[in-house]
Amino acid sequence: MNDLTIGNPDYTFLIAGPCAIESTEQLELILNSSHPPKIVRGGIFKMRTNKNSFQGLNEKGIDIIQELKRRHDFHFVTEVSDPRQIEKVSSITSMFQVGARSMYNYELLKELELHKKPVILKRAFSATIDEWLGAAEYLKGLGDQNIILCERGIRSFDHKLRNMLDLGSVIYLKKNAPYPVIVDPSHAMGNSQYVIQASLAAIAAGADGLIVEVHPNPEMAMSDGQQSLSLPLYSELVEKCSKLSLVLNKKLQV
Amino acid sequence: MNDLTIGNPDYTFLIAGPCAIESTEQLELILNSSHPPKIVRGGIFKMRTNKNSFQGLNEKGIDIIQELKRRHDFHFVTEVSDPRQIEKVSSITSMFQVGARSMYNYELLKELELHKKPVILKRAFSATIDEWLGAAEYLKGLGDQNIILCERGIRSFDHKLRNMLDLGSVIYLKKNAPYPVIVDPSHAMGNSQYVIQASLAAIAAGADGLIVEVHPNPEMAMSDGQQSLSLPLYSELVEKCSKLSLVLNKKLQV
Amino acid sequence: MNDLTIGNPDYTFLIAGPCAIESTEQLELILNSSHPPKIVRGGIFKMRTNKNSFQGLNEKGIDIIQELKRRHDFHFVTEVSDPRQIEKVSSITSMFQVGARSMYNYELLKELELHKKPVILKRAFSATIDEWLGAAEYLKGLGDQNIILCERGIRSFDHKLRNMLDLGSVIYLKKNAPYPVIVDPSHAMGNSQYVIQASLAAIAAGADGLIVEVHPNPEMAMSDGQQSLSLPLYSELVEKCSKLSLVLNKKLQV
Amino acid sequence: MNDLTIGNPDYTFLIAGPCAIESTEQLELILNSSHPPKIVRGGIFKMRTNKNSFQGLNEKGIDIIQELKRRHDFHFVTEVSDPRQIEKVSSITSMFQVGARSMYNYELLKELELHKKPVILKRAFSATIDEWLGAAEYLKGLGDQNIILCERGIRSFDHKLRNMLDLGSVIYLKKNAPYPVIVDPSHAMGNSQYVIQASLAAIAAGADGLIVEVHPNPEMAMSDGQQSLSLPLYSELVEKCSKLSLVLNKKLQV
């Protein structure tokens, strides 16, 4: 990861990609866009509240990433929710993502600690900050800079937006914890029309980076289409976040 | 499980035992009490927010249960939080427990569905009723009567008690879902002085059963001592719940 | 109030009536039912989230109660949300009700303290127990037995039911506070089909009483029809609650 | 209010002052600071959870403001929580503030609608966005630009910070409602060390302004000292917010 800037206070880093890997074409369009992400996210094994929802391409998704890596230079991050998935995706990932539903899966965290790659640890739906930091302890062997806390919105009484983005947690953690902290504005807002504004607020709150959902054709997405940025909106995001980062004496690493 | 009454509307069933298996003596005292539980609960692999807390006796706990089963007639239920733990405890358990932190662990649920034993599915800290029912779908192959939903208190803004017991969920589920529903008053209240009253409320709300923490010596418990009933309080619980069940035309199965 | 049993540990008391006073006929039907309530509730000045909703009969409602009092023997309780409403309803009320939206209205509470009638103090939507007890302090001059705390469901992340009934608060308060505690199962559940079960759970939890919405014709109610018990359901409630109270060594005071 | 910029999209406006008016000297120090606020906030009638806490200077506070207005050019805003307080402070205020505890006090709102001055309407502790907008309807006669919604943090399960700042609500409201929206980072964070960062996030989220607590001597404050900015921190806030506003093509109006 020597070419990455995670944990470097001079940079805001951006992770972008689709909710789920759907096809080679889908990712080609993102990687050929005006701002090809250096770190691409994409679900291969999807966790779904409804067991009949699309559960990801599984092995086929791995093949797609392997093939794309021959033609494009990018880092890949994907979610694992079971210890037995780690080995399967290990060859294609630069870091692992632990989703909100798995934050308390300590057996998974213990296993990830052994794999020596950075882990994005999303906050559970109603995890207290102490519980979140407690989960991070299970990854301690990775080194603080490789434990990336991700605020993705918590559960509240109001349902106008998908979740309630808790930027206070970002402000608190940057003053009191040794880890990089990033924000997932896509899951927090649940609707692409609010994602750019939430991204700006996250950066102003002091977040070290963002992880956003981008899809070349959001209306056709197999999951999370409503909250995925189209490529033009993704460009707008990059430009606005770059400009804002400069005022805060940072550079945006796309 | 032919001798059990789970899902039989004529019975309120009671599961009791320590938070964690600590020693043979600890369980002997419970099994020799005035109301030896027919279904004993006890943690063998503990999930802990703090990684330095007591994490259970693991293999040694399995030996203790095996030995006790030679001398006592009881069913045993314990929590599994990783698919690889299932086989290890399979020989000693009549049913499995999925804890609040694992409710969204769908890979674990898929595996448990294959094991054909009843599963107690605790509600996650802030799971909506729909998410809880969605998780139950992953166990559907067990048959509705073997999917036991357990309300154990949700997370709220008030911290006077450990959790906020949501008996409305019990009332709702008994009218709208096909599963047995039980209540864990110990984790909900977090303090043994409130457990009996909460148990009575749960039964009056229509719960099919209770799962309570009992310890022969709560002050010396290695975990959850504050919320564990002493043996005298456990006797009081059994007597009061028996009396209340009768008014509701049910019998308490200890 | 000498004929009332509020605060008498030998009784469970019941307050029943429509959400809003709509007509003389509406109340006659309730007062002539098989279980005429000794304490009738009914809104005269309604607080409405939407300013275009029905806001109560105001002065006309007062006339209706005055007239009914000539023919029927009952106590009346109604909500006040502004200090200037107190005098207006003072001649017809035996006690006042402070709604969830007004719990923090300390100027209103200070005024009510001067009026020397019992006050039902509903818990605000997300009031901590400490805040609720803090509000009760503003009524201290009434004497503890005349400050009646009413749990009516708190706000949570789940919207299957109107509110989340927190019976843990009832259990906590009965052990730690000197006030009578009652439960409003109608607002908590938001649907009449769940109200009886919630009432039983409340009594088993130790509540001193209930305040329930009853309407002779719920489908035609001008507000809260969905959660109002029809007269037959109200009879069923009285019978079941009487039976349950007996097991707890109490008598139901209708 | 012709010299003010509320509702002017070219400006971010700042309201600053102490939690409670304590003395002439206290306000002189703020008004003589390097960035004297054009709009000063300060409590005269305080609402307190604990009835024995400092409840404000009342009439004496009014005198202090009157006197200061002879020597300084500023607008004053203070909270009213009872309709009978409105007239008392009317001569000294340019706008009124409705606190979180009073958002549902519709009788108060109806009265304020008659007074034709802008109203800052704080969000109740767990008000949904719809309830908040419903309350704003009670003020409709003032004109949309004079109904200023103020996000001040909502109640959540996490208690590391005083409240949970919901900047998603600001983003949502700026896209879907016609009112100016401001943020109170002092009450949201509850600790002065986090207030500047939260203010920057609020501006980046699209807030039209801020209302912050400032005290010349926070350790000696009679209320909310922990969250009040000292004068040097207040200067830092002004400078950072000015710089950030410029990137967003706005000017900060102090």
Please check whether residue C185 touches B, CB under 8 A: no
Please check whether residue A160 touches D, CB under 8 A: yes
In this prediction the ipTM stands at: 0.96
> Is there a contact between B106 and A81 if contact means CB atoms under 8 Å apart?
yes
Residues 11-70 of A with CB under 8 A from D: none
CB < 8 Å to D157, chain B: 126, 155-157
What's the pLDDT score for residue C104?
A: 97
What's the pLDDT score for residue D2?
A: 58
Whole-angstrom Cα distance, residue A198 to residue A145? 24
Residue with structure tokens 């095996």?
Answer: B66
Nearest to B128 among C130, C157, C193 (CB): C157
Comparison of pLDDT for B2 and B42, the residue scoring more? B42
What are B121-143's pLDDT values in tens digits? 999 999 999 999 999 999 999 99
Tokens of B149: 């939903």
Under 8 Å between Cβ of A64 and A23: yes
Distance of CA D84 to the CA centre of its chain: 21
State how far residue C49 is from chain D, nearest Cα, in angstroms.
6
What's the pLDDT score for residue C120?
A: 98
What's the pLDDT score for residue C6?
A: 81
Whole-angstrom Cα distance, residue C148 to residue C151? 10
Tell me A194's DSSP state. G
State how far residue B125 is from chain A, nearest Cα, in angstroms.
7
> Is there a contact between D193 and A175 if contact means CB atoms under 8 Å apart?
yes
Tens digit of pLDDT per residue, chain A (254 long)?
A: 457 778 788 999 999 999 999 999 999 999 999 999 999 999 999 888 888 888 899 999 999 999 999 999 999 999 999 999 999 999 999 999 999 999 999 999 999 999 999 999 999 999 999 999 999 999 999 999 999 999 999 999 999 999 999 999 999 999 999 999 999 999 999 999 999 999 999 999 999 999 999 999 999 999 989 999 999 999 999 999 999 999 999 999 98
Please check whether residue B157 touches D, CB under 8 A: yes
State how far residue D185 is from chain A, nearest Cα, in angstroms.
10
What's the pLDDT score for residue A4?
A: 76
**Beta-bridge partner residues of B164:** B154
What's the pLDDT score for residue D67?
A: 97
Give which of B107, B122, B162, B166 to mutate to test A binding, by max A Cβ within 10 Å: B107
Chain D, nearest residue to C49 by Cα = D134
Under 8 Å between Cβ of B15 and B210: yes
Whole-angstrom Cα distance, residue D164 to residue D201? 13
Under 8 Å between Cβ of A31 and A72: yes
Burial of B191 (0-12, 13-18, 19+ CB in 10 A): middle
What are C205-214's pLDDT values in tens digits? 999 999 999 9
Whether the pLDDT of residue B7 is over 90: the answer is: no
> Is there a contact between D126 and B157 if contact means CB atoms under 8 Å apart?
yes
The CATH fold of domain C11-246: TIM Barrel (3.20.20)
What's the pLDDT score for residue D118?
A: 97
What's the pLDDT score for residue B51?
A: 86
What's the pLDDT score for residue C133?
A: 98
Average pLDDT (C11-40) is 97
Chain B, nearest residue to A98 by Cα = B105
Which candidate, A165, A164, A168, places its Cα nearest to that of A156? A164
Q: Considering the entire predicted model, what is its pTM? A: 0.96
> Is there a contact between A125 and B130 if contact means CB atoms under 8 Å apart?
no
Please check whether residue A228 touches B, CB under 8 A: no
What are C191-229's pLDDT values in tens digits? 999 999 999 999 999 999 999 999 999 999 999 899 999
> Is there a contact between D104 and C106 if contact means CB atoms under 8 Å apart?
no
Burial of D3 (0-12, 13-18, 19+ CB in 10 A): exposed
What's the pLDDT score for residue A6?
A: 81
CB < 8 Å to B126, chain D: 157
Under 8 Å between Cβ of C191 and C161: yes
Residue with structure tokens 């349950």?
Answer: C244
Tens digit of pLDDT per residue, chain D (254 long)?
A: 457 778 788 999 999 999 999 999 999 999 999 999 999 999 999 888 888 888 899 999 999 999 999 999 999 999 999 999 999 999 999 999 999 999 999 999 999 999 999 999 999 999 999 999 999 999 999 999 999 999 999 999 999 999 999 999 999 999 999 999 999 999 999 999 999 999 999 999 999 999 999 999 999 999 999 999 999 999 999 999 999 999 999 999 98
Residues 125-154 of B with CB under 8 A from D: 126
Whether the pLDDT of residue B1 is over 60: the answer is: no
Neighbors of chain A with 3 or more C-beta pairs under 8 Å: B, C, D
Nearest to B156 among C156, C175, C201 (CB): C156
Which candidate, B183, B214, B162, places its Cα nearest to that of C168? B162
Tell me D248's DSSP state. T
> Is there a contact between A155 and C157 if contact means CB atoms under 8 Å apart?
yes
What are B164-193's pLDDT values in tens digits? 999 999 999 999 999 999 999 999 999 999
| Alpha-carbon torsion angle B196, B200, B205, B211, nearest 10 | 50
Sign for the CA dihedral angle at A159, A160, A162, A168 comes to: negative
Whole-angstrom Cα distance, residue B54 to residue B48? 8
Tokens of C201: 């759970």
State how far residue D168 is from chain A, nearest Cα, in angstroms.
6
> Is there a contact between B156 and D159 if contact means CB atoms under 8 Å apart?
no
State how far residue A153 is from chain C, nearest Cα, in angstroms.
13
Residue with structure tokens 């035309």?
Answer: B249
Whether the pLDDT of residue B4 is over 90: the answer is: no
Under 8 Å between Cβ of D196 and D233: yes
Mean pLDDT of chain A: 95
CA angle C42, C46, C50 (to 5 degrees): 140
State how far residue A139 is from chain C, nearest Cα, in angstroms.
30
Under 8 Å between Cβ of D203 and D195: no
> Is there a contact between C126 and A155 if contact means CB atoms under 8 Å apart?
no
What's the pLDDT score for residue B241?
A: 97
Whether the pLDDT of residue C1 is over 70: the answer is: no
Under 8 Å between Cβ of A234 and A212: yes
Burial of C29 (0-12, 13-18, 19+ CB in 10 A): middle
Residues 65-94 of A with CB under 8 A from B: 81-85
Tokens of A3: 């070419």
Tell me A228's DSSP state. P
Give which of B12, B131, B163, B165 to mutate to test C binding, by max C Cβ within 10 Å: B165
Average pLDDT (B89-104) is 97
Residue with structure tokens 């329930």?
Answer: C212
Whole-angstrom Cα distance, residue B214 to residue D120? 53
CB < 8 Å to C175, chain B: 193-194
CATH 3.20.20.10 fits D11-253, yes or no: no
Neighbors of chain D with 3 or more C-beta pairs under 8 Å: A, B, C
Cα(first)–Cα(last) distance of chain C, in Å? 15
C2 — pLDDT class (breaks 50, 70, 90)? low
Nearest to A107 among B49, B81, B127 (CB): B81
C245 — pLDDT class (breaks 50, 70, 90)? very high
Whole-angstrom Cα distance, residue C142 to residue C136? 10
State how far residue A50 is from chain B, nearest Cα, in angstroms.
5
Chain D, nearest residue to A126 by Cα = D157
Distances (CA, A) of A217 to A21, A78, B24, B194, C122: 13, 20, 61, 55, 51
Distances (CA, A) of A57 to A22, A187, B110, D219: 7, 21, 18, 59
What's the pLDDT score for residue A48?
A: 86
CB atoms closer than 10 angstroms to residue D249: 8
Chain C, nearest residue to A164 by Cα = C157
CB < 8 Å to B156, chain D: 157
| Alpha-carbon torsion angle A204, A206, A207, A213, nearest 10 | 0
> A-C interface: how many C-beta pairs under 8 angstroms?
8
State how far residue B120 is from chain A, nearest Cα, in angstroms.
18
Rg (CA), chain D: 17
Q: Half-sphere exposure (CA, 13 Å, Cβ side) for C61?
A: 23
Please check whether residue D193 touches A, CB under 8 A: yes
Mean pLDDT of chain C: 95
Encode chain B in three state secondary structure. Answer: CCCCCCCCCCEEEEEEECCECCCHHHHHHHHCCCCCCCEEECECCCCCCCCCCCCCCCHHHHHHHHHHHHHCCCEEEEECCCHHHHHHHHCCCCEEEECHHHCCCHHHHHHHHHHCCCEEEECCCCCCHHHHHHHHHCCHHHCHHHEEEEECCECCCCCCCCCECEHHHHHHHHHHCCCCEEECHHHHHCCHHHHHHHHHHHHHHCCCEEEEEECCCHHHCCCCHHHCECHHHHHHHHHHHHHHHHHCCCEEEC
What's the pLDDT score for residue B248?
A: 93
> Is there a contact between C198 and B188 if contact means CB atoms under 8 Å apart?
no
CB atoms closer than 10 angstroms to residue A144: 14
What's the pLDDT score for residue D6?
A: 81
Chain A, nearest residue to D162 by Cα = A168
> A-B interface: how many C-beta pairs under 8 angstroms?
66
Under 8 Å between Cβ of B167 and B188: no
Nearest to D168 among A174, A188, A193 (CB): A188
What's the pLDDT score for residue D4?
A: 76
> Is there a contact between C49 and D105 if contact means CB atoms under 8 Å apart?
no
Whole-angstrom Cα distance, residue C58 to residue C84? 13
Domain ranges of chain A: 11-253
